[in-house]
Amino acid sequence: MTDHMPELEDELENGDGSEEIYERVNLVVDKGQEPLRIDKFIQARIEGATRNKVQQSIEKGMVLVNDKPVKANYKVRPLDRLIVYSTKNPESTEIKPENIPLDIVYEDDDVMVVNKPAGMVVHPGCGNYSGTLVNALAWYLGDEIDKNTSGLLVVAKSDKAMSDLAKQFFDHTVERRYIALVWGDFEEDAGTVVAHVGRHQRFRKIMDAYPDGEHGKEAITHYEVLERHNYVTLIACKLETGRTHQIRVHMQHTGHPLFNDDTYGGDRIVKGTVFAKYKQFVDNCFEIMPRHALHAQTLGFIHPRTRKHIQFESPMPADFSGVLEKWRRYRRNPED
């Protein structure tokens, strides 16, 4: 009998965050496998898995066999396809509840949709141990994604809801629409960027695009031009996958980095002749929006309990709309 190595995948919680928070292990049972309890099978094949933890995951519906939850006494059969979900915990950090105001768009017993402001980190870690969304949720409920991306994200309030939403993210059925202001103009009104996204080979804290698929994971971004302003363009992006910094990396790859993206080359004049008046105009824009111009505008998913599709919209933040209006005026009157 030949053991199958687990296939580990990551997925985002809100699309273009900086760090995946769900982890999934795929296992395929060998053709010659004798009947064996699923908890024992998983424990033997996933490093660090204890029987108690595996049984808890099974009870929470976070272990699927052939896409369906099973009970702990289920015995695996040849060629069964197993999926084991878990949440990533990159650092063992005590979560301290903090009374931080939250913009809650929707809430019930299963899920909460939050409109996150730019600048708020999602979970504690690596220099951000307080003031995060998780600290605020701990206070509200009594119990570093991409801090500079504003907009909607969904929070599961139960283990069942979490496993259900995790599966929707993995199956790419969650609707996520972003708006972005990028440098330059596009030849086409719409297009698709296909390039793997993975860690930069030299600078491990940032991501890079690999169009030949030699590194990283498959990443697909669909974009549509909304407004053209000569030197910058407002676009809408729909994610078919949700990799770390996907939109930012894909736009840089196409030569259109996000406006004021200091990680991927957008915090300088990329398009336009660098003369004093124009430079001053761009610097003024950077001051109005001191972050990359990306906003999670639309979020839609199947409710874990009712199974009905629900969708939410987030208005453009003031800093984003302010910069966009300056570019509209500049396009009409560049000499002003």
* Same domain membership, residue 115 and residue 81: no
- Domain's final residue, options 53, 87, 121: 87
* Same domain membership, residue 198 and residue 113: no
First to last CA, the chain: 75
DSSP secondary structure code for residue 318 in this structure? H
Q: Are 271 and 259 in contact (CB under 8 A)?
A: no
* Same domain membership, residue 298 and residue 227: yes
Tens-place pLDDT, residues 66-98: 988 898 899 999 999 998 876 555 444 566 778
Q: Residue 125 falls within a domain, yes or no?
A: yes
* Same domain membership, residue 306 and residue 207: yes
CA dist., res. 205 & res. 65, Å (int): 35
* Same domain membership, residue 243 and residue 111: no
Q: 143: which residues sit within 8 A by CB, 6+ positions away?
A: none
CA dist., res. 51 & res. 54, Å (int): 5
Tell me phi and psi for residue 187, to 5 degrees.
-70, -40
List the CATH number of the domain containing 73: 3.10.290.10
Number of domains comprising the chain = 3
Q: What is the pTM for the complete model shown?
A: 0.73
* Same domain membership, residue 135 and residue 83: no
Q: Residue 234 falls within a domain, yes or no?
A: yes
CA dist., res. 12 & res. 218, Å (int): 13
Give the CA distances from residue 43 to residues 5, 39, 162, 200, 255, in Å, rounded to whole numbers and listed in that order.
13, 6, 22, 33, 46
146 is catalytic: yes
* Same domain membership, residue 225 and residue 313: yes
Q: Which one is catalytic: 16, 39, 80, 146? A: 146
Q: Residue 97 falls within a domain, yes or no?
A: no
What is the Cα 72 distance to its own chain's centre?
Answer: 31
* Same domain membership, residue 148 and residue 286: no
Query: Would you give per-residue pLDDT tens digits along the chain (336 residues)?
Result: 334 444 444 443 434 543 444 567 888 999 888 999 999 998 888 877 788 888 888 888 888 899 888 988 999 999 999 988 765 554 445 667 788 888 999 999 999 999 988 888 776 665 566 777 877 777 666 544 577 888 898 888 887 888 888 888 878 888 999 999 999 999 999 999 999 999 888 887 889 999 999 999 999 999 999 999 999 999 999 998 888 899 999 999 999 999 999 999 999 999 988 788 999 999 999 999 999 999 999 999 999 999 999 999 999 999 999 999 999 999 988 766
* Same domain membership, residue 297 and residue 199: yes
What pLDDT is recorded for position 65? 93
* Same domain membership, residue 216 and residue 282: yes
List the CATH number of the domain containing 263: 3.30.2350.10
* Same domain membership, residue 152 and residue 273: no
- Domain's final residue, options 40, 56, 87: 87
Q: 35: which residues sit within 8 A by CB, 6+ positions away?
A: 75, 76, 77
Return the bridge partners of 310, or none.
301
Count of Cβ atoms closer than 10 Å to residue 299 Cβ: 25
Which residue type sits at 19? E
CA dist., res. 300 & res. 154, Å (int): 9
The closest alpha carbon to 58, from 32, 40, 44, belongs to 40
Q: Are 186 and 201 in contact (CB under 8 A)?
A: no
* Same domain membership, residue 320 and residue 196: yes
The closest alpha carbon to 13, from 83, 88, 109, belongs to 88
Q: Which range marks the domain in which residue 148 is found?
A: 104-159
Q: Are 44 and 34 in contact (CB under 8 A)?
A: no
